[in-house]
Chain A
């Protein structure tokens, strides 16, 4: 009975109608914002950087909306619900990562760049090779991340609308519903970006961040109220219901698992370390995070916006702790895995249970489930829009304007190309996502973080802080970091040679870890150093200009 609770009631028309109505309201509001934003979008600065007029807290909320993806909301709550403490490790890594952005990247990038990451990397280098490399790594990271979000949306819809097995909805089977969801999400994200540019996208992200924070807050209060605001009894009940006892509250159920042989245990613990490092160093190299720093008037506002973001994201991850343990205690691991093996529906299931208990029985349960489901879709939409915008900006500004046109393109042409690029990247992401539906979502996100940390972060830090860094070093670090991380993942157990792999029946893996970070990030830094010292190019005058601008804000766009 308990096990099929969601499957049974989610198909009730109340829940479906509420989910669809709320989602349509969100879409209507965001489309209205987008059309309004398009009227305010006249220059390239408007399109790429939202006119640089957002305030610290607006941009902080938008950063939260850009960053708190479905992986954060549904994924982490699910991991905590199923594996207890280990899910919390993700929250910590994702939050601590913002200190890298705050202390080493945000202000300097804002002072010395214009629209994209490559503006800073190419500042004192030969433009064409460096911008090409930066554009390629931007697109690779964004596409992996986009596919992860869209596949996640497809998988969610059938669960949240209760379409599974033979049941149909509007004449659609579960498979068809997934494909149509991916297309719908893709079409909306293209519309936000092409029509609304950075202004439209930013307001969509702010709206989503509000919805997500309110939804998570209400659920957290209900969970805590259930346990009379006693954290210890919530944890105790979660541990008891999980059937794993106090091990549920300790590290080791999911990551760094103790295996039969010493070498397997060693690899498992290295994998934990590798994941931890990739999470912390990846954030400050994510293109859609970096472009957000250009949407404010100055480096000081960029600093303020990161402070806001740290506050919002930190509080949200504290909520996920209550949501995850709450789902473990009130819904139970069995009911969660019956609905979704990866635990991605733990948060919506918890919403249904809380609504049923505290908001007036089955109807209340359906309504709260529907609200949280709509929040989850809003979450995905805001993140994919940010990713599409960052990658199309890089195609237009770096590749078209500076590589092909050698800096001679008009603003109008550049923005036109950005809109076409958004359409093309969006279409490619839709097509790839439809084919990639069976891929593990967490793997794609982890890969995006690993590539960002191995290819982008070394180049950014060397550019900002190392006098000697040059074109050759930038190329080596980007291509080297990109290649090593993709190659190691390809030969890792997530692609072949394990039951949960992309190709479970084949085995060509030789790299023992599922996350490449612990090897690929040092290799990325090493490549940047080696490429630099192997080339004689050295321009102290250009570095002087960069350093003076990045630290003082003189001449900032």
Chain B
């Protein structure tokens, strides 16, 4: 189909792309968000479960009427989930997707199999 014959085999090309500075930037940009966010929400969830198990007095403190710390922390878990999801989608669209598109377009131009 393509008129241009790739100078390298596909295997070598994938290795070259993987080693390239551009791809390194894509990987770092993605991981800079995804890994800390995962660690963050997982720890925050663990803290919440541990508080439910071991800090019952604190969890039972009433804040507004019958609404106690336990319920507020639980609702904050919902809020943090929604927020992280929203931040991620914005971050990915602005920072990650353009880098991925660039590399993908380049591979498509070369017709790597």
Contacts and interface: CB of A to CB of B under 8 A. Distances in A.
A89 B17 CA distance: 45
14 contacts: A88-B71, A89-B74, A98-B85, A103-B38, A230-B65, A232-B64, A246-B62, A252-B52, A255-B53, A256-B53, A310-B81, A544-B17, A548-B14, A552-B104
Contact of B26 (A269, A300, A541, A552): A552
B22 to A, nearest CB: 10
A251 B70 contact: yes
Contact of B45 (A96, A233, A239): A96
B38 A100 contact: yes
B70 A249 contact: yes
A211 B21 CA distance: 50
Given A92-B77, A276-B45, A554-B107, A103 B66 contact: no
Contact of B66 (A93, A236, A276, A544): A236
Nearest to A280: B45
Nearest to B54: A269
Interface residues of A, number: 56
A314 interface: yes
Interface of A: 85, 88-89, 92-93, 95-96, 98-100, 102-104, 230-233, 235-236, 239, 246-247, 249-252, 255-256, 269, 272-273, 276-277, 280, 300, 303-304, 306-307, 310-311, 314, 317-318, 540-541, 543-545, 547-548, 551-555
Contact of B74 (A88, A273, A310, A544): A88
Interface of B: 10-11, 14-15, 17-18, 23, 26-27, 30, 34, 37-38, 41-42, 45-46, 48-50, 52-54, 56, 59-60, 62, 64-68, 70-71, 74, 77-78, 81-82, 84-86, 88-89, 92, 97, 100, 103-104, 107-108, 112
Contacts of A273: 49-50, 53
Contacts of A231: 67
A544 B15 contact: yes
Contact of B53 (A88, A236, A251): A251
Given A233-B65, A280-B42, A548-B103, 17 more contacts: A85-B71, A88-B71, A95-B77, A96-B77, A235-B67, A236-B65, A239-B66, A250-B56, A256-B52, A269-B54, A300-B97, A307-B86, A310-B85, A311-B82, A541-B11, A548-B18, A548-B107
Contacts of A95: 77-78, 81
B76 to A, nearest CB: 10
A551 B100 contact: yes
Q: 3 nearest interchain CB pairs?
A: A232-B65, A251-B52, A544-B18
B38 A314 contact: no
B73 to A, nearest CB: 9
B18 to A, nearest CB: 4
Given A250-B59, A554-B108, A541 B14 contact: yes
A256 B52 CA distance: 8
Given A89-B52, A92-B48, A544 B14 contact: yes
Nearest to B85: A310
Contacts of A311: 82
Given A95-B81, A314-B78, A552 B71 contact: no
B14 to A, nearest CB: 4
Contacts of B103: 548, 552, 554
Contacts of B86: 307
A545 B14 contact: yes
Given A269-B53, A276-B49, A548-B23, A250 B60 contact: yes
A541 B17 CA distance: 11
Contacts of B107: 548, 552, 554-555
Contacts of A272: 49, 52-53
B78 A99 contact: no
B58 to A, nearest CB: 10
Nearest to A107: B92
A541 B74 CA distance: 45
Nearest to A281: B42
Nearest to A549: B14
B109 to A, nearest CB: 11
Residue of B23, B56, B104 contacting most chain A CB atoms (<10 Å): B104
Residue of A311, A545, A548 contacting most chain B CB atoms (<10 Å): A548
B2 to A, nearest CB: 14
Contacts of A306: 85
A272 B53 CA distance: 7
Nearest to A103: B34
Residue of B10, B41, B49, B88 contacting most chain A CB atoms (<10 Å): B49
Contacts of A269: 53-54
Contact of A552 (B78, B88, B100): B100
A249 B11 contact: no
A99 B81 CA distance: 7
A239 B67 CA distance: 11
A548 B107 CA distance: 10
Contacts of B56: 250-252
B74 A92 contact: yes
A246 B49 contact: no
A99 B83 CA distance: 11
